[in-house]
Structure 1
Amino acid sequence: MRKLKVMTYYGDKNDYELSTLAGTVLTSMTVAADVFTAPRPTLEEYGSLVDDFVAKHELVSRGGSTLENQQKKVAKAALLEAMGILAQYVNSVAKGNGAILVSSGFELAANPRTLLAPDLVSGVRLQNGRQLGQLRLDFDALKAAYEYEYALAHTLDEVGQPVWDATYNTSTSRGNVIGNVVSGDIYYVRVRARNYRGWSDWSAVSTVRAL
């Protein structure tokens, strides 16, 4: 029987989901300090990373500058790295004990024998961005996916189907910026998700006319 573990990778979560989970882990491991007696990194170090990311995320969510967005990405990368190390520590302490794993606040890893390819991505929304010449792509996140791919088109073939001329990879389901679009052109996008079992089918197509 496979030993229970917590997940060590959370890069598939959007910024809001990550900030919520990171805070939950900090609170939970503080409460369970008698179990997790020597966390790596320390809870003080981890808490500083959580606070830094949350502050930068909240600033950018209100409309941050290019520099502020970059600073948020750096803070997110540092937090994800710390969460991965801390989750490994939790697994080493718990040794498969489900109650101890859950008490850490981290999410339990799925059994790879029951893991299936991701479901269809839903909630795909293509809309004009904050600046002219930009579009914004959002869609609903899938917990079973660690990566997404979206295909973009702005022309149709002779039977009226989009001609997919470019694909892009992303790890986030929110705020994907598509640049260099032509004002007045109609753009089409579809999304699929990936996990360790493969790719989902393509989503329904979302479309918008660029301003």
Structure 2
Amino acid sequence: MKYIRAKANFFRLADEKLIVLGARIIECMKTSEVFTDPTPTIVQLEEAYASYYEAVVPAASRSRETQALKRERKRVLADLFQQLVYYVNTVADGQLSLLYSSGFPVLTGKRTGVIPATPTGIVLEDGRRAGEVAFRFTPVGRDMQYEYSFAVEDLNKKELVWGESLFTTRSFKTYQDGFTAGIYIYFKVRARNKNGASDWSTAVRFLVR
């Protein structure tokens, strides 16, 4: 099976390359008749790009403060492009002409598509404030989307009541708020790509503080 996809690993790009490539991708998204409902939105991309661009020139001074600010804004932009490449690959479904029209670099090669493995290494921690939880887990591959959900226990029925599915492309620390301090919650996650979804992870129990 022909394995063709847009690729993104923008955080490792040199600043001058990311500035040029980022502008091209955003322009392609704005004028595309195929990628009409991108995730994230064009507005989010433009705001993150402008914020990063403004931080690049001052960072040339090499001060720790400006360098740190540039890295923070670069990470935000890179994460948004990582989400966007998942959307592009899903819509294009391996069509080379559509992938090139997105503005992203394209990887072509021979590879059999496989369903991702189930995420492991789940860790839940206290958040930054009461009622907030931080979670992270071990990534299972590149260009991956993760579906996750939280549950509370119904004491009357003695069963878990799962909330709606949420989605992220991040496996490192992410925050979720809105919980009641003093109760136990449960967390599960599974990985998704264009070939399908993994099994759900084993639910992890955590006491909200």
Scaled by the length of structure 2, what TM-score is found? Answer: 0.56
CA RMSD between the two structures: 4.3
Residues 110-145 of structure 1 deviation map (CA, whole Å, 9 limit, x = unaligned): 645x11100011111121111111001101112155
Supply the distance in 2 between the matched residues of 1:155 and 1:75 (Cα, whole angstroms): 37
Give the corresponding residue for 1:87: 105
- 5 Å-filtered alignment, 1:32-43, equals 41=20
* Counterparts of 2:147 and 2:140, CA distance in 1: 13
Distance 2:143 2:158 in 1: 31
| Counterparts of 2:6 and 2:175, CA distance in 1 | 27
Alpha-carbon displacement from aligned partner over 1:16-66 (angstroms, at most 9, x marks no partner): xx53x335xx79x8xxxxxxxxx9927xx9xx86x859734755xxxxxxx
Structure 1 residue 164: deviation in Å?
Answer: 1.4
| TM-superposed deviation, 1:73 | 2.9
CA distance in 2 between counterparts of 1:57 and 1:118 reads: 33
- Partner residue of 2:145? 147
Q: Which moved more, 1:141-150 or 1:151-160?
A: 151-160
Superposition deviation, residue 193 in structure 1: 0.6
In the alignment, which of 13, 16, 20 is matched to residue 22 of structure 1? Answer: 13
Q: Which residue of 2 aligns with 1:137?
A: 135
2:121 aligned counterpart, secondary structure: coil
Cα distance in 2, alignment partners of residues 197 and 149 from structure 1: 15
Partner SS for 1:41: helix
CA contact (8 A) 2:82 2:143 kept: no
Cα distance per residue 1:52-110 (max 9 Å; x no partner): 59734755xxxxxxxx8xx96357537988xx74625xxxxxxxxxxxxxxxxxxx566
1:196 alignment counterpart: 194
Match of 1:170? 168
Question: Equivalent residue of 1:77, what SS?
Answer: helix
Structure 1 runs not aligned, ≥5 long: 30-38, 60-67, 89-107
Structure with bigger strand share is: 2
Percent pairwise identity = 21
- How many Å separate the matches in 2 of 1:160 and 1:209? 17
Aligned-partner Cα distance in 1 for 2:205–2:114: 29
Deviation of 1:151 (Å):
1.3
What is the identity, as a one-letter code, of the residue corresponding to 2:68?
A
Distance 2:201 2:82 in 1: 31
1:124 counterpart residue number? 122
Letter in 1 for 2:146: Y
**How many residue pairs get matched?**
156
TM-score, normalised to structure 1, is: 0.56
